[in-house]
Amino acid sequence: MLSGVKTVAWSVVFGLMLVCAGCQRAALTVSPPVSGGDYAARTADCVACHSIPGGEAFAGGLKMGTPIGAIYSTNITPDPETGIGKYSLADFDRALRQGIAKDGHRLYPAMPYPSYAKLSDADVAALYGFFMKEAPPVHQANRKTEIPPVLRTRWPLAIWDVVFAPRSSYAAKPGHDTAWNRGAYLVQGPGHCGACHTPRGLGQQEKALDESSPKYLAGAELDGWYAPSLRGEVRTGLGAWSQTDIVDFLKHGHNRIGAPFGSMIDVVNNSTSYFSDSDIQAVATYLKSLPATTDQPSLAKDTTTTAAMMNRPSAQPGGAVYAGYCASCHGFDGKGFAPYMPGLAGNPVVLHDNPSSLINLTLNASIPLVVAGAPDAYRMPQFRQQLSDQDIADVLTFIRKGWGDQAPSVTTAQVAKLRKRTDPASDQVIVLKMR
C-alpha cells in the first residue's frame, strides 16, 4: 500500500502526525521535538481523548458520555483562537492538575485531572513545552456540550473537586525502591490506569487512587468494556501473570496469555508500546506488588469433560457454536496459538464475573492493534450478524465453564442489552506518530 509507506517515511523525517490506519491523513510539523515533552505526552496518552480518527492530532472533538449528557474534548493545539495558545504555564498546570480551564470554568472529570494531579512539576513543564512549541497549531473551534442548559452550570464540580480530587504531586513512598516508585507514578499519574480499571462510586469518582485501598485497580466497567482487575487474584487478576507477561502485553500487544482489545487498544497503540524498557518494567513491578483481594484456587485444567461436551451438541449448545465458529482460532483445547491467538482456558479476561468485554468483543470485534507502526495481522472477527443473542450467550457460557473454568453463565438478556448499546468496531484507529 503506497500511501501507507509514504506516511510512515514522512513520520521519520518530520515531527508529528496523526495516522488513522484506515484513512491515512497526516498533520505535520517541521520542528523536531527537543523537550522530552513528547514522551510525557505518550505516557499520559493525551492523544487518545483529544483527537478523532481522521482528524488532526490534538485538535479535540471526541464525544464522551457523562451521566447528564455528552461532552466533547477540546482543541489543545497551540492555536491562539481555538486552542490553548494563550495558556501560560500556570494556566496549563491548573487545567491539568486541578481541572480548571484558563477562563476559570471547571472541567468535567472526563478529563482525568484527578490522576494528572499526581504529575511532577518537571513533567507538567515538559508537556507545556511540547504543546506550545512542538505540536502543530490547528484552527478548529470546540464543539458545545450536549448537556441540557439547566444542568450545564459547572459550580457543582467545585464541590466534587474538594471531595474527590487529590491536590498534590506523587511523593515517593519510603520502603519501596526506585523502580516501584517510578511504576506507581506512571500508573497512578500520567498513565491514569485507574480511570478504567478502578470501580467508581455514586459520584462517578474512582473509589481509590492508590494502593492504600484494596479497591484500587480492582476491575470496572466503562463504556461497554470491562477492564479486569490488575491486582494479584490468581484467576481474575494478574496473579498468574509474570513480570514478563505484563511487559509483553503492554509493550508488544501480545503475550502467552492474552491480547489487548476494546478500550485497552488506545492505551497500547499510543502509550504503553512507546514506554522505555525501564519504564515498562517499572509499571510491571508496581502492578505485581498489588495483593489479591480474594483468595482464589488456581485452575485445574480439565480437557476431557470439555471434549465430551463438544461432542454432545444437544446437551451443550454452546459446544456446537464453539466447534463451528471459534475452535479454528482458539483451539479445541482452548489453548489458542500463542502469542497471536489467545487461549481462552484460564484467561482472566474470560473468568471475571462481569462478561461485558466478552460479549462486546464477540458481537463487535475490536479496533485494530497497531504496535510500532504495524497493524496486527490476526484479529478476532465480529459475529454480530452470524450469531443470535442465544448463540453468543451459549458459547460464552461454554467457554466460561469449559476446561475446568468456573465463571458464571452469560444470559441472553445480557447479550441483547449490549447488542442494542454498541456498534461494530471501526477499522479506523488513531495512531500518533512523533519524531
Residues of span 354-413 touching ligand HEC by CB under 6 A = 357-358, 361-362, 366, 378-381, 383, 395, 399
Tell me the three cell numbers of residue 359.
460479549
The set of residues, in sequence order, having a beta carbon less than 8 Å from that of 103 and lying 6+ positions away, is none
Rule CB under 6 A: which of 74-93 touch ligand HEC?
74, 76, 84
Give the residue with the Cβ less far from ligand HEC, 14 or 58. 58
Q: CB under 6 A: which stretch of 158-166, 169-177, 342-350, 407-415 binds ligand HEC? A: 342-350
Tell me the three cell numbers of residue 4.
501507507
Q: Which helix (H) or strand (E) holds 72?
A: strand 69-72
What whole-number distance in Å separates Cα of residue 362 and Cα of residue 383?
A: 6
Is residue 414 at the binding interface for ligand HEC, with CB under 6 A as the rule?
no
Q: Mind giving me the DSSP string for 365-419? A: --PPPEETTEE-S--PPP-TTTS-HHHHHHHHHHHHHGGG--PPPPPHHHHHHHH
* Strand, helix or coil for residue 100: strand
Q: Mind giving me the DSSP string for 173-196? A: PTTS-HHHHHHHHHHHTTT-THHH
7, 140, 316, 347: residue in contact with ligand HEC (rule CB under 6 A) = 347
Rule CB under 6 A: which of 157-176 touch ligand HEC?
none
Give the residue with the Cβ less far from ligand HEC, 339 or 373. 339
Site string for ligand HEC, 14-53 (x = CB under 6 A): ------------------------------xxx-xxx---
CA 125-159-91 angle, 5° bins = 20
For residue 379, the minimal CB distance to ligand HEC (Å) is 4
Rule CB under 6 A: which of 179-238 touch ligand HEC?
187, 191-193, 195-197, 225, 227-228, 230
Is residue 118 at the binding interface for ligand HEC, with CB under 6 A as the rule?
no
Rule CB under 6 A: which of 249-308 touch ligand HEC?
249-250, 258-264, 266-267, 272, 283
For residue 300, the minimal CB distance to ligand HEC (Å) is 19
Q: CB under 6 A: which stretch of 19-27, 297-305, 339-347, 416-424 binds ligand HEC? A: 339-347
The set of residues, in sequence order, having a beta carbon less than 8 Å from that of 197 and lying 6+ positions away, is 217, 218, 219, 220, 227, 228, 229, 230
Query: Residue 353 CA to chain centroid, in angstroms?
Result: 20
